[in-house]
Amino acid sequence: MRNRVIICEASEIIALGLAEMIDGMAQFDVVARLDSPEHLSEKIIATDASLVIVNPTLLGFYNRDFLSQLGKDCPQVTVIALATTYVDHTMLTPYNGIIEINDTKSKIISKMNEFAQSEVAKNTDDVELSKRETDVLVAVAKGMMNKEIADQMNISIHTVISHRKNITRKTGIKSVSGLTVYALLNNLIDEKDLI
């Protein structure tokens, strides 16, 4: 299962270079590049992205408010800061991680793998999902998009998104790959069920 990544960076040369590095990794797929955060939430929902890399300078003073709203709209997403210039560290605290402009390719690869696995490491022993949430989780783990899940289960796409938010809230896992590992570890799916 590949993690869908969105890069939000105004500099085309930086965005293309980072996208080239990430696309070279087996478990990641860059599904969109944006030069501003204006339509980021919509793009996350449309592409079912699990990881967003955003330059904090694009958000300016509205950094915390924007990230807080993004967390409400898209709770399944891990948001990583792309620090291309000096940024006050207090601006970086709301992010799940940081990629710095001077990081080597191997360091970026290492960080990306950490970001993808960080949700899986969280303690999820006390999680109790409803039957419908479990069904949605299994469908997500099998690689289905929100629209496909809605069609298969005869529910609206908004209901699917609501179930996914509940799953994320209960498990603490934001990424699709993390949910897949969770489903495997809890015997909700078998490896042969994966695409």
Q: Where are the domains of the chain?
A: 3-118, 131-193
Take residue 156 and report the two structure tokens written for it. 């609206």
Taking a C-beta distance cutoff of 8 angstroms, is the pair 76, 161 a contact? no
Q: Spell out the alpha helix ranges (H) of the chain.
A: 12-23, 40-47, 63-73, 89-92, 105-118, 131-141, 146-153, 157-171, 176-185
pLDDT at 123: 39
Percent of the chain with pLDDT over 70: 92
- Claim: this prediction has a pTM higher than 0.75: no
β-strand partners of 99: 82
For residue 115, count other CB atoms closer than 10 A to its CB: 23
What 8-state DSSP symbol labels residue 2?
A: P
The Cα–Cα gap between 81 and 91 comes to 10
Q: For residue 75, what pLDDT band results from cuts at 50, 70 and 90?
A: confident
Domain 131-193 in CATH 1.10.10.10 = yes
pLDDT at 127: 66
What type of residue sits at position 27? Q
What 8-state DSSP symbol labels residue 95?
A: S
Q: With 50 as the cut, is the pLDDT of residue 86 above it?
A: yes
pLDDT at 192: 76
Please state which architecture CATH assigns to domain 3-118: 3-Layer(aba) Sandwich (3.40)
pLDDT at 61: 66
Closest CA to 136 of 166, 164, 177: 164
pLDDT per residue as tens digits for the range 63-72: 778 888 887 7
pLDDT per residue as tens digits for the range 47-66: 988 899 999 988 876 677 88
Q: How far is CA 129 from the centre of its chain?
A: 21
Q: For residue 169, what pLDDT band results from cuts at 50, 70 and 90?
A: confident
Question: Mean pLDDT across the stretch 157-171?
Answer: 86
User: Which residue is it, tokens 């860059």?
Assistant: 30
The Cα–Cα gap between 77 and 73 comes to 9
Q: With 80 as the cut, is the pLDDT of residue 2 above it?
A: no
Question: Mean pLDDT across the stretch 5-13?
Answer: 94
pLDDT at 195: 57
The Cα–Cα gap between 4 and 80 comes to 13
pLDDT per residue as tens digits for the range 93-104: 888 889 999 999
Taking a C-beta distance cutoff of 8 angstroms, is the pair 158, 116 a contact? no
pLDDT at 16: 94
